[in-house]
Amino acid sequence: MPSHEQNYQIWNNSYDWSRYQGDEWSAKWGGTDMQWYWTIYPRIRYHLPAQTILDIGPGQGRWTRYLLQHCDNMVLVDLSEKCINACRRRFGEDRVLYKVGSGDSIDFLEDESIDFAFSWETLVYAEIEAVRGYLEGLARKLKPDGRAFLHHSNLASYSAYFDLTIKMPKRLRDFLKTRGLLDYDQWRARSVTAELFARCAEEVGLRVTTQELIPWGGRRLIDCFTTLTRSSGGASPRFKKNPNYHTRAYHIQELSWLYGEGVPW
């Protein structure tokens, strides 16, 4: 996966945000509306509305605009000042606090100030040291009954497979990938598994309530959605493997074209 410095270089300096502001990543769902209402919102709706929401790694506000409809105040933290400045122009100053972050800490927040923390397609690039930093922060910054929904890597569960693919000649690797015969690691963090993520959360005083393992562009379940809370007690964590996650996305895309206008890319 890219280092912190490489991530900064890509998302702050290299990537062209000007055309779609990151919405292009929702194309396989038929657009951001379809992905939000069919994929993201069903997974977090029991945690909304929330007085104060923290969005970790918002990019240029792809999901912030939806989350704002369900809270009084929002906090956006991103390692890219370009993204933070774009969000500031897009959403204004009234209900939103903006922060250029370090990529592993939310120490700038007051303790017990967040009702719900959200992160999508950002922490998948965070290695376990950075993950632990965020979890330690959430253990202090979430309110006693606060919750978090975090999208992170599970790539280390397939370390042997991806270590082998790296040793292949690039031409062979690319040939197999284009024919769907080889999974790509999608730049996911190589030191994180769902199990290790949950163990780190529990060590800092958070309780895992759900984990859902999903594929991302291949067959192996290299990503995970984890829901956390500070509250103690309750039922045992619920765990699900969802190998058909992307199949569902393509069905949603079909609905977008059938009943809507589809997407312009």
pLDDT, tens digit, for every residue of 18-40?
989 999 999 999 999 999 999 99
129 located within any domain:
yes
Q: By residue range, what is the domain housing residue 43?
A: 4-154+187-259
167 located within any domain:
no
24 located within any domain:
yes
What is the CATH classification number for the domain harbouring 48? 3.40.50.150
Amino acid at position 261, single letter: E
173 located within any domain:
no
| pLDDT digits 0-9 by tens, 131-165 | 999 999 999 999 999 999 999 999 999 999 999 99
130 located within any domain:
yes
Number of domains present in the structure of the chain: 1
- Greater pLDDT, 248 or 6: 248
| pLDDT digits 0-9 by tens, 43-102 | 999 999 999 999 999 999 999 999 999 999 999 999 999 999 999 999 999 999 999 998
44 located within any domain:
yes
178 located within any domain:
no
238 located within any domain:
yes
